[in-house]
Each structure stands twice: as structure tokens, then as C-alpha cells.
Amino acid sequence: MTEEPEATAPIADPPVSVVGPNDGETILLGTTRMRVLEDGGTTGHRLGITESVLAPHTPGPPQHRHAAHDEGFYVVSGTVRFTVGEDEHDATPGTLVMVPPGAPHTFANVTDQPAVMLSTFTPDRYVRYFRDLQALMADGRELTPEANVRAMRRYATEPATGPVTGLPGRGPEAGGAARREGES
């Protein structure tokens, strides 16, 4: 029998975060506008949340893998194409894509309409990566692939160039292969 972790004692009068529709830090990354809804400051760094508006025909980042955090994407409007390894999934409003550590992935808006998605990062560390990218792109500077990879590595992320090894519970032998839509 697996023991359940003990809950920590509640904090007396913990702070509550309320981010209105016109509030939150804005991060501009090329044609993508990101709004930070939770940077981890009120979640003990367990969770970060952003809202991203992807302009039409916005290419995504290079396919990559995170070693230290889960990433979730909930499509609010438009269509976002997720590439997971060699599988493509066109996610429409109401679709949730959860990416565990080690899974290769990227996303893009390949349509003529903007797309909006909410992203979660558990823990929150990747919010800092987006801040770093914005600083690298300040004053109209172009983000080079080398600078992007250096920034990714600071947050335990690598380009996905081959099969991942060394992650427990990941890969086909552990049932961790990407599922195609409609499979269970």
C-alpha cells in the first residue's frame, strides 16, 4: 500500500490572488502576447499559469523536452497544432493537452485566425524562461537558436533531437508513448 503524503498545515489567512481581465504581467515574444496570471508567488512555486495569444501563422518553439516540470495547455479559442514526437494534434477550443516531463513537444498556430490558450507549469519555473526570452529579444533583437537553447537549459529543458533516456516511467516500455486522439 502506498502512503499518502501528509497535508501541510494551512497557513492562517493565506494570500489570495485575483487577476482581472486587464491585469497581469505582459510578456511579448515576437507575434505571441503572453499574460502571466500566476508566476508562482502565491502558490509556493508549485504552479505557474499564463494566457497566450498566438497570432495567425505563428510558428512555435523548436520541439523540446522538459526534465523538471509538467506543462499543460488549454485551448480557449482558435486552433493550436501540437506536435508530440511525430504525431500532430489540432487542438480546438475546450481541448486540454498535458505534457509530462520527457515528452517531446511543440505547438504552433497554422491557421488564419488568432488562437488563445492557457498554459500551466508545475512547478512554476518556466515562467522565468519566458521573462528571459523577452529580455533576449528586447529592442527588436532576434532570438538566435543558440541563445534560445542556452535559456532553455537554465530551466532543465533540451531540444528534442532523439529518444529520451533515464526518466523513470517514460517511454513506450512504461506506457508513456503519446496517445493519438481517440485512443485510451
Q: Is 89 helix (H, G, I), strand (E, B) or coil?
A: strand
pTM over 0.85: no
> In the structure grid, which three cell numbers stand for residue 89, read together?
494534434
Q: What is the pLDDT of residues 156-184, one digit of tens each?
A: 999 997 554 444 433 333 333 333 344 43
Mean pLDDT (the chain, rounded): 86
Bigger pLDDT: 142 vs 110: 110
Q: Give mean pLDDT, residues 120-147.
A: 93
All cell numbers assigned to 6: 501528509
pLDDT digits (tens, 9 = 90+) for 73-128: 999 999 999 999 999 999 999 999 999 999 999 999 999 999 999 999 999 999 99
Q: Is the pLDDT of residue 141 over 70?
A: yes
Alpha-carbon gap, residue 7 to 173, rounded angstroms: 33
Domains of the chain as residue ranges with CATH: 30-127 (2.60.120.10)
Rounded-to-integer distance, Cα 5 and Cα 36, Å: 30
